[in-house]
């Protein structure tokens, strides 16, 4: 080594070491190459410039000080947590779908849940399911929102001495429960129907550990009479499998099987198979006769309707039985006598049923054992057993018997119950004797609730052990014997909740091994199926598909002629006014009342949202008015007195309602729930009565309805005009006239008193025909369309056809015969497209934001009209009236035929909305999404709780449901249906990555995929072999307002009904 002290011992590289002259010269110079500026001045380029030490220091100093200044400004914090280790199956921007099952009590739907970046955001139907067959209901579509409900219980709670709930830990809850429960404890578990075989095992184990425990099932809307009647008639308490797809004649007595009754998605899918006109030249369809007191969703779809009073159902079925029995050589029963005006219609109905033995189906929705026994007997006589009525693969979807709950109240009051577990049910609200149940709960030492949200029953419990939402749960369901459906979580639990089955297992104790597992209930579930599922791959396949079927052993049901023992239960028709209490498509019996999407979805029949309205029958005065009881008008308040209890309710004039009867929906007037459902509408459950069998009767006699007692503050009906060409008898000339003037003429002046006849009927919006006249109808339709098309050809503008020819041209087809109006598509659209919820006040001002609405028009006889549903979304006109009037080009046309909105460009003149003949454009009147700069107008939205201050869905938790592919719109801009352009893009990308041509099946709009009946078909006009072009071949197709030459891209297929002569009454 050299001397350390020597300067030359430190060198800067080989040049230095070699004492290179030039290098030393440079190194000792203060400014080696001059500044960059001087270099540039000498003509050197910047890239080649070298930075000197001083320049470097200057730049360094400048950058640091600049950075310091910049950094000292406040920069908004964006919370984004990157993955440290990215999960394999999670690619940002790519959705994952998980098969699971929507199960709420006995309501069931097999679904695929779309998750984005780990968040479930959308529910789709599972096409592999043999039950729901890819269809969904509005309730299933809205289920994803309830996952993010801010009012869900977030942790276990225990009521303290002062009666206030305090958050607890699960250990505390388990400690309290296991110390209180003794093996000899008399425990009552109250649940709705449970579809899960695994959960049934859990309950069995629970009962094994606590032999004195008792299970009580009831359903929010009871079908107990069906179970009991079948027990008597077939030896098995069951709801048989109804095969509507095999039925050519369907008669339904008070059963809303398309909307709410037992398994509407399944039934609607099956029903629609025989309702579609596939070959118009040889048109065939089933015949559907609905016998009911109120206008149900099913009734609006029926070919014939017979209006009865609710108490006449036994008499109707008795007459039907006698008529059919006599033709089969059986003896008649001594049933209640039927009103003579109905007899003829019922006899004709019997004839219809007899025409096609084995291919007919009678269903009944009343909760009377005698009625249901008659239904069994009639179906048996008609030979429907084994074809349209399946007693082998029957349904488990209704297992409840409310009479047992009533018995439980007695034992609770008698101190015979030590502990009560409210297991996913709400007896205090849902049952007529709910108040008594609530009082009896105070006699029970320990009340536990496993419900996941606050409700009337949970409020009275001591211990809250909240369940997961089903999208966070493991589980299974067997809605129909032999049809199993899996439930798997789509997200880790959001809150400190625990699956209710697991809570029971925990309280059973002694299963410590299980609890060491990460997901104990998953392990438990797997062991349930261990014998059926042989390998890991088949287990994964099961979870992937979500459903599987097996052949169950014989149910052991066989027809026993026990009818005579049950006819005593038939009821005599009542006199005086009666009222029906019915379930709505949205609310159930209040299970869904805290879901703003469902509250906002207008009821398909009344078109009202946010509340229940008393349906009043309508009469035509023969001149110009539709008159209702006491001259009440829509949205006015009246007092209805039922069973000595008075309710003040807003009314709506309901076409098709039996004279002298009323109807009011269940499921409203909740007193303990989240913000959306609290205090909306009135609770009718306390008005209900049970019959001698302890079964709830969903009607009452001796009803009085008062005159006008005021007006509802916010009458939230989205459709003011309800008819399109109803006909009635003129009071003077006795001729049949168009009765629509009632809604259009406000002033009458002698000559024009009758209004302009045909002003409503002759519109080219709804096309409809009777099946018998279909050939004439097609001829007329084609002729009229031809005329319109010839005129439209004369336009001087070139149009977009040349552009479309180069690529895709998107279009849609809607089959009005398949559409039953259930509204699943409207909720699906809200979910897919981040459509805001506006609340009751805004809805009453017609500020609803729905991109897709279902118009409902009545036509035909004014007293007993038919109805037609028309889903209306943006028609994506090729001559769009909205486009040319926008001053800033915010709405314009894509090369693929889409009418697009550029929200950022929109100034909000609303001219496009005015000029839209279809009125599908929606304006953001206020800041519905809190996307605005100013929060000022948020409390102004008239939301239920002004304290909360923010609109529904604008809190950070609920925002997790937003679809990241769709912009959230701010106030002041117009929005509308985009044909789910994000899905089109996704489909195009998929086809591109798979290096193939796009197929129609690659793109399914949200409404299309939600539809249980396949009424909506989306596709490419240019794809000649696609589904869309297949549908376009029908000669029944038409375009709404074709003569306006908007060149709409949506084709509608005309509504055809198969009305039998003389059956209506």
Q: What track of x and - describes contact with other proteins for positions 416 through 445 (by CB under 8 A)?
A: ------------------------------
Stretch of residues binding other proteins (CB under 8 A), selected from 540-548, 586-594, 676-684, 901-909: 901-909
Q: What track of x and - describes contact with other proteins for positions 700 through 719 (by CB under 8 A)?
A: -------------------x
Output the smallest distance, CB 21 to other proteins, in A: 57
Report angle CA 424, 430, 434 to the nearest 5 degrees.
Answer: 105
Q: Which two tokens stand for residue 854?
A: 């279902």
Q: What is the DSSP string of 959-1009?
A: GGGS-TTSPPP-TT-EE---S-HHHHHHHHHHHHHTTS---GGG---HHHH
Say whether residue 779 binds other proteins (CB under 8 A): no
**Which residues pair with residue 860 across a beta bridge?**
726
Say whether residue 895 binds other proteins (CB under 8 A): no
Stretch of residues binding other proteins (CB under 8 A), selected from 100-108, 131-139, 825-833, 885-893: 885-893
* Nearer to other proteins (CB atom), residue 284 or residue 753: 753
Output the smallest distance, CB 586 to other proteins, in A: 19
Output the smallest distance, CB 666 to other proteins, in A: 27
* Nearer to other proteins (CB atom), residue 627 or residue 913: 913
Q: CA quadruple 114, 120, 121, 122: dihedral positive or negative?
A: positive
Output the smallest distance, CB 1050 to other proteins, in A: 13
Is residue 823 within 8 A of residue 586, CB to CB? The reply is yes
Member of 273, 800, 921, 1004 binding other proteins (CB under 8 A): 921
Say whether residue 756 binds other proteins (CB under 8 A): yes
Member of 155, 765, 957, 991 binding other proteins (CB under 8 A): 765
Phi-psi region of 965 (alpha: psi -120 to 50; beta: other; left: phi over 0): alpha
Q: How far is CA 409 from CA 223, 435, 688, in A?
A: 20, 10, 17
Output the smallest distance, CB 498 to other proteins, in A: 43
Question: What's the CA gap between 352 and 250, in Å, rounded?
Answer: 9
Find, among 128, 126, 150, 153, the residue nearest to 140 by Cα. 126
Strands 637-642 and 389-395: unpaired
Terminal-to-terminal C-alpha distance of the chain: 119
Say whether residue 754 binds other proteins (CB under 8 A): no
Output the smallest distance, CB 855 to other proteins, in A: 4
Member of 437, 662, 918, 1052 binding other proteins (CB under 8 A): 918
Say whether residue 343 binds other proteins (CB under 8 A): no
Stretch of residues binding other proteins (CB under 8 A), selected from 52-60, 445-453, 934-942, 1007-1015: 934-942
Q: What is the DSSP string of 268-326?
A: HHHHHHTT--S-GGG----EEEEEESS--HHHHH-SEEEE--GGGHHHHHHHHHHHHHH
* Nearer to other proteins (CB atom), residue 626 or residue 698: 626
Question: What's the CA gap between 355 and 350, in Å, rounded?
Answer: 9
Say whether residue 915 binds other proteins (CB under 8 A): yes
Say whether residue 605 binds other proteins (CB under 8 A): no
* Nearer to other proteins (CB atom), residue 957 or residue 1041: 1041
Member of 598, 872, 1006, 1054 binding other proteins (CB under 8 A): 872
Member of 926, 984, 1003, 1056 binding other proteins (CB under 8 A): 926
Secondary structure (H, E, C), 346-369: HHHHHHHHHHCCCCEEEEECCCCH
Question: What's the CA gap between 137 and 125, in Å, rounded?
Answer: 9
* Nearer to other proteins (CB atom), residue 564 or residue 757: 757
Find, among 942, 913, 916, the residue nearest to 927 by Cα. 942
Say whether residue 959 binds other proteins (CB under 8 A): no
Which residues touch 81 (CB under 8 Å, ≥6 apart)?
none
Q: How far is CA 724 from CA 275, 285, 364, in A?
A: 22, 24, 30
* Nearer to other proteins (CB atom), residue 705 or residue 906: 906
Question: What's the CA gap between 482 and 499, in Å, rounded?
Answer: 25
* Nearer to other proteins (CB atom), residue 489 or residue 836: 836
Output the smallest distance, CB 972 to other proteins, in A: 3
Size of the site for other proteins (CB under 8 A): 70
Output the smallest distance, CB 909 to other proteins, in A: 5
Stretch of residues binding other proteins (CB under 8 A), selected from 484-492, 982-990, 1011-1019, 1038-1046: 1038-1046
Q: Which two tokens stand for residue 796?
A: 């001087």
Three-class DSSP category at 441: helix
Stretch of residues binding other proteins (CB under 8 A), selected from 76-84, 302-310, 452-460, 883-891: 883-891
* Percent of the chain that is helix, strand, coil (3-state, to 5): 30, 20, 50
Say whether residue 881 binds other proteins (CB under 8 A): yes
Output the smallest distance, CB 620 to other proteins, in A: 17
Say whether residue 623 binds other proteins (CB under 8 A): no
Q: What is the DSSP string of 535-579?
A: SHHHHHHHHHH-EEE--PPP--------HHHHGGG--PPP-S-EE
Is residue 265 within 8 A of residue 1012, CB to CB? The reply is yes
Three-class DSSP category at 125: strand
Is residue 185 within 8 A of residue 419, CB to CB? The reply is yes
Say whether residue 763 binds other proteins (CB under 8 A): yes
Is residue 657 within 8 A of residue 617, CB to CB? The reply is yes
Question: What's the CA gap between 827 and 1009, in Å, rounded?
Answer: 12
* Nearer to other proteins (CB atom), residue 837 or residue 886: 886
Say whether residue 927 binds other proteins (CB under 8 A): yes
Stretch of residues binding other proteins (CB under 8 A), selected from 104-112, 649-657, 687-695, 935-943: 935-943
Say whether residue 797 binds other proteins (CB under 8 A): no
Say whether residue 829 binds other proteins (CB under 8 A): no
Member of 159, 200, 689, 910 binding other proteins (CB under 8 A): 910
Say whether residue 917 binds other proteins (CB under 8 A): yes
Q: How far is CA 755 from CA 82, 927, 1024, 1045, in A?
A: 68, 42, 47, 28
Member of 1, 80, 746, 1025 binding other proteins (CB under 8 A): 746
Output the smallest distance, CB 1051 to other proteins, in A: 17
Binding stretches for other proteins (CB under 8 A): 719-721, 723-724, 744-749, 752, 755-756, 758-760, 762-763, 765, 842, 845-848, 853, 855-857, 870, 872, 881, 884-889, 905-911, 913-915, 917-919, 921-927, 934, 936-937, 940, 970-974, 1041, 1044, 1046
């Amino acid at each position: 080594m050299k001397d350390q002290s020597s300067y030359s011992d430190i060198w800067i590289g080989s040049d230095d070491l070699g004492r290179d002259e030039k290098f030393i010269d440079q190194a000792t110079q203060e400014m080696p190459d001059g500044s960059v500026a001087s270099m540039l001045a000498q003509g050197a380029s910047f890239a080649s410039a070298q930075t000197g030490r001083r320049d470097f220091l200057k730049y360094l100093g400048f950058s640091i000080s600049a950075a310091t200044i910049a950094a000292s400004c406040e920069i908004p914090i964006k919370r984004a947590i990157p993955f440290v280790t990215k999960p394999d199956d999670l690619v940002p921007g790519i959705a994952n779908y998980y098969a699971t099952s929507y199960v709420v009590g006995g309501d069931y739907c097999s679904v695929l849940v779309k998750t984005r970046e780990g968040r479930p955001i959308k529910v789709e139907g599972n096409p592999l399911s043999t039950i729901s067959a890819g269809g969904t209901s509005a309730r299933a579509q809205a289920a994803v929102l309830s996952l993010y409900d801010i009012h869900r219980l977030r942790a276990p709670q225990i009521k303290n001495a002062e009666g206030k709930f305090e958050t607890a830990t699960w250990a505390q809850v388990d400690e309290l429960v296991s110390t209180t429960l003794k093996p000899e404890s008399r425990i009552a578990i109250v649940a709705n129907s449970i579809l899960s075989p695994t959960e049934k095992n859990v309950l069995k184990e629970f009962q094994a550990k606590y032999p004195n425990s008792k299970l009580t099932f009831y359903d929010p809307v009871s079908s107990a009479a069906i179970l009991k009647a079948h027990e008597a008639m077939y030896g098995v308490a069951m709801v048989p499998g109804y095969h509507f797809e095999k039925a050519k004649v369907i008669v339904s007595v008070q059963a809303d099987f398309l909307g709410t009754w037992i398994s509407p998605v399944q039934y609607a899918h099956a029903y629609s198979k025989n309702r579609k006109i596939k070959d118009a030249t040889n048109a065939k369809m089933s015949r559907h006769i609905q016998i009911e007191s109120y206008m149900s969703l099913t009734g609006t779809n029926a070919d014939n309707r017979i209006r009865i009073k609710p108490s006449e159902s036994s008499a109707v079925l008795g007459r039907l039985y006698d008529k059919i029995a006599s033709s089969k050589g059986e003896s008649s029963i001594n049933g209640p006598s039927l009103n003579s005006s109905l007899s003829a219609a019922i006899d004709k109905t019997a004839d219809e049923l007899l025409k096609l033995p084995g291919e007919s189906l009678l269903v009944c929705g009343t909760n009377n054992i005698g009625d249901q026994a008659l239904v069994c007997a009639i179906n048996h006589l008609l030979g429907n057993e084994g074809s349209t009525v399946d007693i082998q693969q029957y349904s488990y979807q209704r297992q409840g018997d409310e009479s047992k709950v009533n018995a439980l109240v007695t034992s609770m009051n008698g101190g015979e119950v030590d502990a009560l577990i409210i297991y996913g049910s709400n007896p205090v609200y849902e049952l007529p004797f709910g108040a008594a149940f609530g009082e009896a709960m105070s006699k029970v030492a320990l009340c536990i609730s496993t419900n996941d949200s606050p409700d009337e029953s949970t409020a009275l419990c001591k211990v809250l052990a909240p369940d997961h939402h089903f999208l966070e749960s493991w589980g299974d369901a067997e809605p129909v014997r032999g049809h199993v459906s899996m439930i798997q979580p789509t997200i880790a639990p959001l809150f400190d909740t625990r699956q209710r089955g697991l809570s029971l297992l925990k309280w059973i104790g002694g299963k410590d091994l299980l609890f060491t597992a990460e997901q104990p209930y998953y392990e438990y579930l797997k062991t349930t199926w261990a014998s059926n599922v042989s390998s890991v791959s088949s287990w994964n396949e099961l979870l992937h598909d979500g459903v599987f079927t097996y052949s169950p052993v014989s149910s052991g049901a066989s027809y026993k002629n026990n009818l005579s023992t049950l006819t005593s239960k038939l009821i005599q028709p009542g006199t005086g006014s009666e009222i029906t209490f019915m379930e709505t498509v949205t609310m159930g019996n209040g299970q869904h009342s805290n879901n703003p999407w469902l509250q906002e979805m207008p009821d398909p029949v009344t078109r009202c949202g946010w509340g229940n309205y008393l349906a009043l029958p309508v009469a035509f005065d023969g001149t110009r008015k539709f008159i209702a009881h006491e001259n009440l008008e829509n949205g006015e308040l009246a007092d209805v007195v039922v069973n000595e209890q008075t309710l003040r309710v807003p009314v709506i004039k309901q076409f098709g309602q039996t004279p002298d009867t009323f109807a009011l929906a269940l499921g409203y007037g909740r007193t303990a729930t989240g913000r959306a459902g609290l205090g909306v509408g009135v609770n009718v459950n306390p008005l209900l009565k049970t019959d001698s069998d302890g079964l709830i009767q969903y009607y009452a006699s001796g009803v009085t309805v008062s005159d006008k007692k005021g007006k509802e503050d916010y009458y939230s009906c989205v459709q003011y005009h309800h008819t399109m060409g109803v006909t009635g008898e003129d009071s003077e000339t006795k001729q049949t006239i168009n009765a629509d003037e009632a809604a259009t003429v406000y002033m009458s002046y002698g000559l024009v008193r009758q209004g302009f006849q045909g002003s409503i009927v002759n519109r080219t919006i709804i096309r409809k025909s009777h099946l018998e006249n279909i050939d004439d109808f097609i001829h007329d339709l084609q002729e009229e369309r031809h005329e319109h098309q010839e005129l439209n050809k004369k336009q001087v503008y070139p149009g977009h056809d040349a552009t479309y020819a180069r690529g895709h041209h998107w279009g849609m087809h809607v089959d009005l015969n398949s559409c039953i109006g259930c509204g699943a598509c409207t909720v699906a659209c809200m979910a897919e497209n981040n459509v805001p919820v506006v609340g009751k006040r805004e809805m009453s001002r017609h500020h609803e934001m729905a991109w897709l609405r279902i118009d409902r028009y009545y036509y035909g006889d004014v007293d007993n009209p038919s109805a037609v549903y028309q889903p209306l979304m943006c028609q994506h006109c090729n001559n769009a009236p909205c486009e040319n009037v926008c001053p800033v080009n915010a709405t314009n046309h894509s090369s693929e035929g889409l009418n697009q909105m550029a929200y950022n460009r929109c100034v909000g003149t609303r001219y496009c909305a005015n000029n839209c003949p279809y009125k599908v454009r929606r304006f953001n009147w206020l800041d519905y999404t809190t996307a605005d700069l100013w929060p000022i107008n948020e409390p102004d939205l008239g939301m239920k709780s002004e304290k909360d201050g923010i609109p529904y869905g604008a809190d950070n938790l609920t925002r997790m449901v937003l679809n990241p592919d769709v912009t959230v719109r701010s106030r002041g801009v117009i929005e509308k249906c985009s044909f789910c352009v994000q899905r089109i893009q996704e489909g195009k990308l998929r086809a591109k990555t798979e290096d193939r041509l796009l197929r129609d099946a690659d793109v399914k709009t949200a409404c299309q995929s939600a539809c249980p009946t396949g009424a909506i078909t989306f596709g490419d006009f240019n794809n000649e072999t696609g589904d869309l072009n297949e549908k376009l071949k029908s000669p029944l197709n038409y375009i709404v307002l074709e003569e306006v030459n908007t060149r709409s891209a949506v084709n509608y297929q005309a509504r055809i009904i198969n009305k039998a002569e003389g059956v209506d009454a």
